[in-house]
A and B are shown apart, each in its own frame.
Chain A
Amino acid sequence: MADEPIIKVHDLHKWYGNFHVLKGINMEVKRREVIVIFGPSGSGKSTFIRTINRLEEHQRGEILVDGIELSHDVRNIEQVRMETGMVFQQFNLFPHLTVMQNIVLAPIQVRKWEKKKAEEIAMQLLERVGIPDQAHKFPGQLSGGQQQRVAIARALAMQPKIMLFDEPTSALDPEMIKEVLDAMVELAKSGMTMLVVTHEMGFARAVADRMFFFDQGQIVESGTPEEIFKAPKEERTKLFLSQILSH
């Protein structure tokens, strides 16, 4: 059981109209693994991570999350979404709810927890991401970095087995990137299974178990951070790394 992959993706294809976005992706992710996905824009990396909780539908191939196959079956989709948390580039907090309400909404409505229990767990999570004092503010009153940490706490409140991060620091001002990355590093070290689309190579070096380089809808190269940074095999990987590491 422990070695059984928690995510299995086999020959995944997706089209937007006639545009072939994902061209046969294969990937297996073990429990407690931290995966970093990187690549040029338009390479399909965000689309890929969004197929794992079915925010995007795939047209061919199969995806198994914790043994549940993603198909048109709504119950399976709901099941998978309860097991996976997601953090977005634009935070996507609910602006009409306070930080606390943002976090407890899904546990109360989906997991059917008591309000009191949900709020206790929410406070613990806010302390974990370092902003317990902001619980009763509205998202609009927080900085970008604080909002993204709330988004992480909100996803964790559902006690997911997998966390998906879709470019979590790309919309942040430089001085706020670190506070979000710190929270993510802490999460990675606690043993969470994570799939992270990011260009933060420092983060990848520090906690990634494996890295996948996406280009034009395919996985061009994969390996441990050591292999990718020290000795990339493919020309495209070398070129891309030199571009993002040089600035």
Chain B
Amino acid sequence: MTEMNSVLPPLSERSNVLRWIRKNLFGSVLDSILTIIGVLIAYWVIKGFLTWALTTARWEVISANLRLILIGQYPLEQAARLWIGVAFLIFLGGNSIGIWARESRFSVALLLSPAILALLPFSSGPRTWLIVLSVTGLVGWWLGRSRPEVLRRSVIIGWVISLPIIILLTHGFTPVDSGGVLAIVKTNLWGGLLLTFLLTVVGILFSFPIGVLLALGRRSELPIIRLASVMYIELVRGVPLITILFMAQLMLPLFLPQGVTIDRVLRAMVGIVLFSAAYLAENVRGGLQAIPKGQFEAAHALGLGKAQTMIYIVLPQALRLVIPILVGQFIAVFKDTALVAIVGLLDLLGIAKTVLAQPKFLGLQREVYVFISLIYWVLSYGMSYLSQRLEERLGVGK
């Protein structure tokens, strides 16, 4: 149905490519000069990169070490446990998309990405697993879509127990020699993307509640709680993460009784959680300050107590306001986990260094670091994209 009387704009106003280029790229002499310089720089950079990536680069360093990069020294014969863990996450992801984002085609396409990765030159084992992942995700999506009401609660429970399950699958619980199921894999064998992932997830999940409590503590009416929160926040924010990680590795044993040792990965996790909590607290405090006094008054006038006012009225609004900042913080946690390489853990960055130490692959820093960066970028951008969707859903800024 078009309007009968609609008048088309004059010919010169109708959009076409040439017009757009003239208006936006060559609008004035200065614009034209900037455009030409910009194009030249872009050409020079892209040409240089592509020439290297397609001709000189020796990508076999990646394919030969892919297992190291993904899971470190984790025993290959136990790797099925990790695949099952990932499959569980993808199943939950598919479920959630089916229930809460049924219109999003992009999200469904995302479930197919493991199968697309399977087209790359993998050996038959991983290839089968990648296809299994996609199938599990799609089955989860279909189930979630067909009975959203029934599954909603169990999916939420699933997400809550997913971290313990993943840790349990990764770590195992029967002694190595007993021959039982899920033999223990020591944390010094965890590495690569697996370790980076676990450090990030634990860092985010545990620092979030601590950060919220610290933010509330900083606004508490009880002076001791307020002082303790302020001191903690300012102390931690005044110190670089790397020193906290060193302290967790080197100084923590000094405070523990003789004979008690804490796992090195766990120490790194504690360091990251404590560090991130202080920053989160400040971000959440910003959100709390933005809530008008009238909201507190209305809640109190209705008879809601202080805790109820916080839980039902203030925190939901405050956290919604700071979602973009929180996600920025989460992405920072993800990237900051790379610092554990300096205290000797073999996360993505740490494993990259060991790959490069192999005589066969000396001097291939460029290939390895470009590939590692690509992994960091894809996952960071993924988080950022999800947060934008979440903001739209929750109507932030409306």
Name A's B-contacting residues (CB within 8 A). 53, 55, 78, 81-82, 84-86, 88, 90, 92-96, 105-106, 109-110, 138, 140, 151, 154-155, 158
Contact, CB under 8 Å: B312 / A92: no
Q: Which of A94, A96, A158 contacts B298 (CB 8 A)?
A: A94
Q: Is B263 an interface residue (CB 8 A)?
A: no
Question: Could you pull out 22 A-B pairs where Cβ atoms are within 8 angstroms?
Answer: A53-B301, A55-B300, A81-B301, A81-B302, A81-B303, A82-B303, A85-B301, A88-B298, A88-B301, A92-B297, A93-B298, A94-B295, A94-B298, A94-B317, A95-B317, A105-B312, A106-B303, A106-B304, A109-B304, A151-B298, A158-B302, A158-B303
Name B's A-contacting residues (CB within 8 A). 292, 294-295, 297-305, 308, 312-313, 316-317, 320, 395, 398
B170 CB to nearest chain A CB (Å): 37
In the complex, besides A94-B299, A138-B395, 11 extra interface pairs with C-beta distance below 8 angstroms are: A55-B300, A78-B303, A86-B298, A88-B294, A88-B298, A88-B301, A90-B294, A92-B298, A96-B316, A96-B320, A106-B304
CA A155 – CA B301 in complex, angstroms?
Answer: 9
CA A93 – CA B292 in complex, angstroms?
Answer: 11
Contact, CB under 8 Å: A154 / B294: no
CA A140 – CA B295 in complex, angstroms?
Answer: 15
With a cutoff of 8 Å between Cβ atoms, the chain B residues found around residue A151 in the complex are 298
Contact, CB under 8 Å: A94 / B313: yes
Residue of A nearest to B294 (CB): A92
Residue of A nearest to B308 (CB): A109
Given known A-B contacts A92-B298, A94-B298, A140-B398, A110 and B304 have beta carbons under 8 A apart: yes
Which of B297, B298, B304, B317 gathers the greatest number of chain A CB atoms within 10 Å?
Answer: B298
With a cutoff of 8 Å between Cβ atoms, the chain A residues found around residue B316 in the complex are 96
Contact, CB under 8 Å: B303 / A155: no
B322 CB to nearest chain A CB (Å): 14
CA A96 – CA B298 in complex, angstroms?
Answer: 14
A75 CB to nearest chain B CB (Å): 11
B84 CB to nearest chain A CB (Å): 38
Contact, CB under 8 Å: A110 / B302: yes
B21 CB to nearest chain A CB (Å): 41
With a cutoff of 8 Å between Cβ atoms, the chain B residues found around residue A95 in the complex are 317
